[in-house]
Amino acid sequence: MKIAMIGTGYVGLVSGVCFSDFGHEVTCVDKDPRKVEMLRNGEVPIYEPGLQALMARNVAASRLTFTGDLKAAVDGAEAVFIAVGTPTRRGDGHADLTYVMAAAEEIGRALTGYAVIVTKSTVPVGTNAAVRAAIQATAPEADFDVASNPEFLREGAAIDDFMRPDRVVVGVTSERAKKVMGEIYRPLFLRDFPILYTDLETAEMIKYAANAFLATKITFINEVARLCEKVGADVKQVSKGIGLDERIGNKFLHAGPGYGGSCFPKDTSALARIGQEFAAPMQIVETVIKVNEEVKRRMVEKIMDLCDGSVNGKTVAVLGVTFKPNTDDMRDAPALTIVPALVGGGAKVRVVDPQGRSEGEHLLPGVSWMDDAYAAAKGADVVVLLTEWNEFRALDLTRLAGAMATARMADLRNIYSPKDAEAAGFVAYSGVGR
């Protein structure tokens, strides 16, 4: 099938590349000429394991192209995906639909025949109806249907998530649109991956409800972790004990410095706002947002306590600043709360992150960037494990402690055990919920 993918951000690029690997003819569209040129040269503007090789393979097979010409891409396309950004709108917490609606109007002007206009971006309930109205207003004679197809991609594992999904959710209002979407996802259907067809509003709600629930699990275990510290329990064992209950499950029950990234902060905020607008307050979600911010601040207090109440004049080595490993994404990362607080407290902060420097350099002023954990720890007063990159999971703790002025560790991901840290020469160790 011929597909146009509007937007080459994280969702649009991964989806476009993967659709082309299904055998479809995909044209990815972006308004930024530099980005288009970069993609045409085989350069990927985001870090996602395996994406560059997959993109190159499908470009070489002539199934994947990049352009800034939306009209040409839409001409003859059987499906046009909207995968533009929906950032949190400043001031009210709602999703900003400016780019979505602009894309819808431009698509309407470009349609030359029947097509399904598919919203891939995460959008509030009712947006697809608004997209339909915008296209009809722009092109009253246009022949089209609207579909909702939310993404469920984990950064760092997006290709596998697309190719081997837990489920594919498709909101449609006609059999014609359902048939087109069925053909697009036929490779997954043939391998028995679940495809759930719903109405538009249900598909929109599934996306928000899923992310809010996962954010709630993370925040719940972080609250439990705080109580564990007070009563002397070990949150890792608590997580294991409750996670073995199949009704609960063991995913997203790892205590840490709070959630961040491109989805959870934005989507919980938007869902809370939707609830307020429809006089059905999402009180649990609102509390999750509040507690998550408190968790981040509590991590700063942990580091301060390790340094006898003050980091002024202290050297702090921070290992990992992206919101999770295997991505370069810094959006709403706990590091954006924790590191500035350390700098503001007078600390000399050294940062090591395999992929975070490109974004982090302008987001975290006043820090020194280093390439090696041991070099960063040399002469440091405390080392902070903030993102669980594989590079930081098997450090030589004896070597690390030996390089430090004072061997203290704030293990905010519970990577190491207190006993191992003590045996390696650390005089102070602080985990989360232990």
Q: Which residues are catalytic?
A: 263
- Strands 315-319 and 382-385 come out as parallel
Q: How far, in Å, CA of 335 to CA of 322, rounded?
A: 7
Token code pair at residue 85: 């950004």
Which residues partner with 429 through β-bridges? 409
The CA–CA distances, whole Å, from 42 to 3, 47, 58, 64 equal 20, 13, 11, 11
Count CB-CB contacts under 10 A for residue 266: 21
Q: 387: alpha, beta or left, given left = phi > 0 and alpha = psi -120 to 50?
A: beta
Q: How far, in Å, CA of 13 to CA of 17, rounded?
A: 6
Q: What are phi and psi of 315, to 5 degrees?
A: -100, 125
Count CB-CB contacts under 10 A for residue 363: 16
Q: How many helices and strands, by DSSP H and E, does the chain display?
A: 18, 14
Token code pair at residue 17: 């590349």
CB of 9 within 8 A of CB of 84? yes
DSSP string, 359-400: HHHHHSTT-EEES-HHHHHTT-SEEEE-S--GGGTS--HHHH
Is the torsion defined by CA of 413, 415, 418, 423 positive or negative? Answer: negative
Looking at 164-233, list the stretches that DSSP marks H as alpha helix, in order from N- to C-terminal side. 175-184, 186-190, 200-231
Which residues partner with 117 through β-bridges? 80, 146
Specify the length of the chain in residues: 434
Which residue has tokens 């999750």?
288
Token code pair at residue 294: 């408190």
